[in-house]
Amino acid sequence: MQIPQIQIRQFPAMLSIDADMGKQSLEQPQATVEMEQIRPEQHFTTSRSRLEVNQDRAWDALALGGNLETMSKIYSMASDMALRGLARIVEQGNRMADIHLGGNPIAERAKDWQRTFPEFDFSGEASYDNVDISYTPAEVSIETTPGRVNLDVQVNRPIHQYERGKLEIYMSQYPKVEIIPPQIDQLI
């Protein structure tokens, strides 16, 4: 004989979740930059350089100096030249007086005769350094105004957009217990 059994069925509760992800967009615009460049400036001022050449002593050494200087030298040497001239004349006279000693003093005097006068030496001292050169360099003045760059930077805010997603929680199956009694055949 079979013993009747009670069947119990249990159905658990079922939760369903329907979710969609949210959407987000993020955008960062570039910064706004305004730039101004101020150029540097330079101003130059110069004076003229100067070269001076003085060759007075060179012309004086060649006896080609200025008229005033030459006459001044002759004037300052005049007494000495006169004494030299007298000495020369005395010497020539003494040689003429010695004609009885032999020789020909007149022919010798004619042979030594010159048109120039050696006692008239009014040229200056000859030297390799008779030309004076002086050089004054130019002066350069430089004024500089430095340049610069002016920057004006505006940072732009980020653009942020967000759309919420969907979230639904619902009961897809409620809990339930089924009790099934056994079939009993009863005959009365």
pLDDT tens, residue by residue, 56-87: 888 877 777 777 777 777 778 778 878 888 88
* Domain range enclosing 65: 56-124
Q: Is residue 166 part of a domain?
A: no
Looking at 28-163, which runs of residues are DSSP E strands?
32-38, 41-46, 50-54, 132-136, 140-145, 148-154, 159-163
Distance CA 82, CA 26 (A): 120
Q: How many domains does the chain have?
A: 1
| Residues 175, 173: Cα–Cα separation, whole Å | 6
Tell me, yes or no, whether 110 lies in a domain: yes
pTM for this entry: 0.36
Residue 99 is assigned to a structural domain of this protein: yes
Top pLDDT among 185 and 159 is at 159
